[in-house]
Amino acid sequence: MTSQIRPQPGIMQITPYVGGKTSLAGADNVIKLSSNENPLGPSDAAIEAMRRAAPNTHRYPSSDHRSLRDAIALVHGLDADRIICGAGSDEVIAFLCQAYAGPGDEVIHTEHGFAMYRISALAAGAAPVEVPERDRVTDVDAILAACTERTRLVFIANPNNPTGTMIGEAEVARLAAGLPPQVLLVLDGAYAEFVDGFDSGTALIEARDNVVMTRTFSKLYGLGGIRVGWGYGPRAIIDVLNRIRGPFNVSGTALAAAEAAVLDAGYVRHCRAENTKWRGWLADALAASGVPSDTSCANFILARFADQTEAEDCDAYLQSQGLIVRRVVGYKLPNALRITVGDEISCRRVAAAVAAFKGAGQGTA
Ligand SMILES: *Cc1c(COP(=O)(O)O)cnc(C)c1O
């Protein structure tokens, strides 16, 4: 008998998300540089907040996230009533797709865009539409040209993952202004904190009714393990998202940690400065070994190799040295490896290993 129990359309087209590898069999002294995590970990204030929250774990958490939203609003100069918190920004991305796209609708993402846009669009029954980038940079004209009357959402990450590139404020504004009236633009600011002085497009959100942003505590704040992200946008849109949000979607421990983290401005500055320093150092060191990369605005480097074989060989060599980086074939970048900017020791180990790999390859090909 064939089962008549079937999932909703689109769901079987989803290729499940595969995260960065976390361990290497048989290797010790392993450094994980495959998931863009903060090598310095969470701030002491966030750890202390989690300790203080632990004894209250039998209580349901706040369902309106008031205290965290107030803290975010204070730090970023936003209206707390137009912030929504999620179990990671992934959840906010899913809410957006669920609320605004369904069967027959199209959701645009860029060629090397973050995998969750496609997954969330399919989960909502909508059709993901991939738009080419120009030399690994978001192409506003290509996105505008790809819009149809069925388009409902456009996702861009700025800076983008896994390319590390970003487009300027004027380009983002031109995109927002050029979209058809039924299209909502989502600015994914997962890496916004790594760009000094960049607010991920707040002014544009305030000026228009068709732009929202998503943000996360998983990257610069070093809190990927507790799953907190947030979104900001026009009141009408945040109101819609709150209707489909589960009342207890963010745990009390996570809310407490995120609030302490966002208020710890000194730690944010420190992490940003360390990242900027070692990102530049690592990019220069790789370039000196013959491995170029685009200037990264995030906490990783997209290292480019001659071809897929060389990228695979280098990945294998790095693994043999206890270094886990990210293959990005699934992001249509078969000849590249995405390497998270680690701490000083990690960066020195990566640079030395890549130099040894490239040196060993010379003259043998
Ligand atoms: C890591 C990442 C996210 C979000 O992650 P959460 O942990 O779910 O907040 C969102 N967008 C991009 C582009 C990312 O790289």
Residues with CB under 6 A from ligand 1: 88-90, 114, 157, 161, 188, 190, 216, 218-219, 224, 229
Is 44-264 CATH 3.40.50.300? no
> Which CATH code, of 3.40.50.720, 3.50.50.60, 3.90.1150.10, 3.40.50.150, is assigned to 17-36+266-358?
3.90.1150.10
- CA nearest ligand 1 atom 10, residue: 190
Counting from 1 in the atom list of ligand 1, the atom nearest the Cα of 216 is 9
| 361 — pLDDT class (breaks 50, 70, 90) | low
- Tens digit of pLDDT for each residue in 181-208? 999 999 999 999 999 999 999 999 999 9
C-alpha of residue 85 to centroid of ligand 1, in Å? 14
- The bridge status of strand 151-157 relative to strand 326-327 is unpaired
Instruction: Quote the tokens at residue 185.
Output: 């633009």
Select from 90, 213, 328 the residue to mutate for testing ligand 1; criterion: most ligand atoms less than 8 Å from CB: 90
User: 301 forms bridges with which residues in the sheet?
Assistant: 339
Index of the ligand 1 atom closest to the CA of residue 114: 13
Q: How far is the CA of 310 from the centre of ligand 1 (A)?
A: 28
Q: Which residues contact 37 (CB under 8 A, 6 or more apart)?
A: 218, 219, 222, 224, 340
Mean pLDDT of the region 65-78: 98
How far is it, in rounded angstroms, from Cα 365 to Cα 362?
7
The CA 183 to ligand 1 mean position distance, Å, reads 22
List, for residues 225-256, the tens digit of each pLDDT value. Answer: 999 999 999 999 999 999 999 999 999 999 99
CA of 115 to the centre of ligand 1 (A): 10
Q: What is the pTM for the complete model shown?
A: 0.96
Percent of the chain, pLDDT > 90?
93
Domain ranges of the chain: 17-36+266-358, 44-264
Question: Does residue 365 have a pLDDT over 50?
Answer: no
